[in-house]
Structure 1
Amino acid sequence: MNSISVIGGTLRYEFSMQIRRRAVWLVLLLMSAFIFILWYAFAGPDLLHGYYSHGPDHPTPVWVAPQPRDAVLYLAQFAAWFFPIGCGLMLADRIARDYTLHVNEILDTFPGPLGARLLGKYIGSTLATLLPALLIYSLGIGYIFSQAPDPQLIPLALEAFLAVLLPGILFAAGFSTALPTFIKVPIYQLLFILYWFWANLMSPRFHIPTLVGTMLNATGP
């Protein structure tokens, strides 16, 4: 059995197993509710409908026109901050579950390199976790489009997903597939959450060295 066949078979198995887990959908739905609340509170209405700006340089209110493209980018950024947390938590137990259910013992009886199986496991489980995130993100983009119809929003939303949101999810997926091999899953999940906030969301006001604002920041500098 060649490596491509092993990768394809493992990918299909992992995708099928992960996409049917209710916890994946539930966690990402809860995460998305939090994301949309933050987006709506800090950016949504003003960027979609316009607002009056006040400031020391212009005491008279100045009308700022709607900026639906910025609304898309803000949504992508908020999603990039928090969706990888949910994806990482849901992927952390994949290898541990295989050991618990003795799936690895069955797979070891089949020919094929271990590296190909691990790659298939990573791709399949990541795609299955990525699909709900993409669907939920698309609903958010659909809402923006319904409020401010602009054909250019669709390609912009896709580019934002690929450039802003996807790298963080892939990073979290790789982290959560590999490290729980050496660390117990609950401990890893706690450390992963702490790491994510430290490396990606830590405010400079705390004066703690962090990766925020650097090229090593998983959600973008």
Structure 2
Amino acid sequence: MRKETPSALGGAMSYEFRMQLRRKALWITFIVFSLALLNLTFSPWTRWSEGLSVPHLVANWSLAVQFFHPIAFGILLADRLPRDRHTRVEELLDTLPASLGSRFLGKYLGTTLATLVPIFLIYAAGVAYIAAGRGDLSAIPLALGAFATINLPGLLFVAAFSVSSTAVLWVPLYQFLFVGYWFWGNLIPTDPTGGNMMPTLSRTILTPFGEYMANGFFGTEQTTVRATALEGMASMSLLLGLGALALYSGYRVLLWQRDKQ
């Protein structure tokens, strides 16, 4: 059995974090997506924000950030796993003391944290505007709680599938399917009766968009669902659990592929 070094996970995580954070595509993509978001007037300084309490405004800003940015998030993470094969360093990494599990988990944690940085900076800019505009510093702790409950579970869910799925799927194919899934499973509009316009996971606790947490925890009415705090917790737990399952499945596939060689 291979001896594991104590710093293997931390070393893999640190390397992947720095490498992902230095990608020009990371920053350019999020700037473009942010401009698209603001062009849709989903910003704290438009009529969209009038008459709202600070907690509701913060929760609505969390949902606005969750509208398009997870698409860029998933696309930018999808090529991280196949990169080791394309650069022909996978065989070299297998000779190191770090186990496959540590490298895989370190890749997930490092690249996910790095890709979260531009999203959080965009989010923080909106929160700073809310706090300054309303003269209420309570917006800051509220925003941290909103990001942790509304945004983060869905983003971790997306990251787990984006990193793991490319163990078996061609990256461009996964990216195409993911974009289609995001609109189909999260953003399908409702019909006049309040139902979905087609069969979809949208408006269920399986959606990573965060509406159940926004309505259940913060009471915002800018959602297509009405949820209790318990339903919000159920949605969070389900997203995190499915993400963990996706990671474990990806790890098992990688083990199988290595043993088959």
Q: TM-score, normalising length from structure 2?
A: 0.73
Equivalent positions of 1:105-184 (< 5 A) are: 105-184=91-170
| Residue of structure 1 in register with 2:47 after alignment | 46
Q: CA RMSD in A?
A: 1.9
> What do the CA deviations read for 1:41-96 (whole angstroms, capped 9, x no partner)?
7x743365x4xxxxxxxxxxxxxx45343222111001122221111000000112
| Residue of structure 1 in register with 2:200 after alignment | 210
**Is the contact made by 1:39 and 1:75 (CA closer than 8 Å) also made in structure 2?**
no
Larger Rg: 1
CA distance in 1, matches of 2:6, 2:199: 43
Listed as ranges, the gaps of 5+ residues in structure 2 are 213-261
| Residue of structure 2 in register with 1:80 after alignment | 66
Aligned residue for 1:25, secondary structure, equals helix
Instruction: Name the one with the larger strand percent.
Output: 1
Aligned residue for 1:204, secondary structure, equals coil
**Is the contact made by 1:39 and 1:74 (CA closer than 8 Å) also made in structure 2?**
no
Aligned residue for 1:116, secondary structure, equals helix
The count of residues paired between Structure 1 and Structure 2 equals: 205
Q: Which has the higher contact order (CA 8 A, sep 6+)?
A: 1
| Residue of structure 1 in register with 2:259 after alignment | none
CA distance in 2, matches of 1:28, 1:159: 23
Q: TM-score, normalising length from structure 1?
A: 0.85
Aligned residue for 2:136, secondary structure, equals coil
User: Taking every aligned residue pair, what percent have the same amino acid on both sides?
Assistant: 41
Which ranges of 4 or more aligned residues in structure 1 deviate by more than 6 Å?
none
